[in-house]
Structure 1
């Protein structure tokens, strides 16, 4: 089963509630919230107050992707506002295991992300502990970037590591995912697709974009 996780970074924030409702009505089961601090990545984005407002209007599974230099300073705030999954970056933590344990202590899921220039093997020691491994398919910081051509090979290697260490762990991809690139990611082994521009700025509209991506479930299945 392929899961689609719309990234609200690409949404129209003046219409956020309506757009999330439309995505939910179209059948998505989760949302992706990108948090940027202007240090780990050059951009700034939303804080806990956005999640608080979002949670008041939806019961969807919400994943919070912390693209921040000091994730331990932010996890508690987002957990308290209703995050179901918190994802931290390998690149900013010498050892993510204590923070992962702290996240899971609250009864929610934990994940670790890696940038395109980080070897996928860096995730091996975390796989037995996490619920989701996120393989970035662009360099993080801005939406609307193109899917990096080396990504399918990295996804396949990560899927092999997951099969060896924790077969129940989800493999998520984020960056440049749309109806054209999604089949490549799925055939390489991804089973959760973060889609921002490809949903919220699709010319045919949000519901049509989601239906187009949902059709992949009938044509493809992830490895593993």
Structure 2
């Protein structure tokens, strides 16, 4: 389905490492189509699995809740995982961004950025707030 995503206008495509039998082949195919390539990790998937591919990817999405539905509680081990991932990126001279998805809010956004995150996904927190625009602005200044 990679070409369909490209034709639909995708600039970056992220695949879950747990669902991808041939990760390197998939990353190369995404890049061959002119898109940036990302890899998502479930909460309890070890960062070390990215060792051989970190230089080839543009983004790592760290799931900070178990995938499936919004509104779940943030998994505290995420901070350590982000710091470990940041070290892996630096050690391999990679430019990969670190994205956090799940349970992001005003209480953990700053600490996630301090740990090394570049991108925060705060869907439920933003869209369940009384003023989503203000909530986004507040997160940007965390």
**Where on the TM-score scale, by shorter chain, does this alignment land: which range?**
over 0.9
Question: What do the CA deviations read for 1:166-218 (whole angstroms, capped 9, x no partner)?
Answer: 33110111110011111121111111111101111112x111011101112xx
Asked whether the 8 Å contact 1:85–1:108 carries over to 2, the reply is yes
Q: Distance in 2 between matches of 1:126 and 1:195?
A: 27
1:211 equivalent in structure 2? 137
Using structure 1 for the length normalisation, give the TM-score: 0.61
Q: Is 1:79 aligned to 2:10, yes or no?
A: no
Query: RCO greater where, 1 or 2, for CA within 8 Å and sep 6 or more?
Result: 1
1:180 equivalent in structure 2? 107
Provide runs of 4+ in structure 1 moved above 4 Å. Answer: none
Asked whether the 8 Å contact 1:170–1:191 carries over to 2, the reply is yes
Where does the alignment leave 5 or more consecutive residues of structure 2 unmatched? Answer: none
Asked whether the 8 Å contact 1:137–1:151 carries over to 2, the reply is yes
Where does the alignment leave 5 or more consecutive residues of structure 1 unmatched? Answer: 1-73, 217-224
Pairing of 1:1-224 with structure 2 (within 5 A): 74-203=1-130, 205-216=131-142
Using structure 2 for the length normalisation, give the TM-score: 0.95
Over aligned residue pairs, what C-alpha RMSD do you find?
1.1
Asked whether the 8 Å contact 2:65–2:103 carries over to 1, the reply is yes
Q: Secondary structure at the match of 1:185?
A: helix
Q: Secondary structure at the match of 1:199?
A: helix
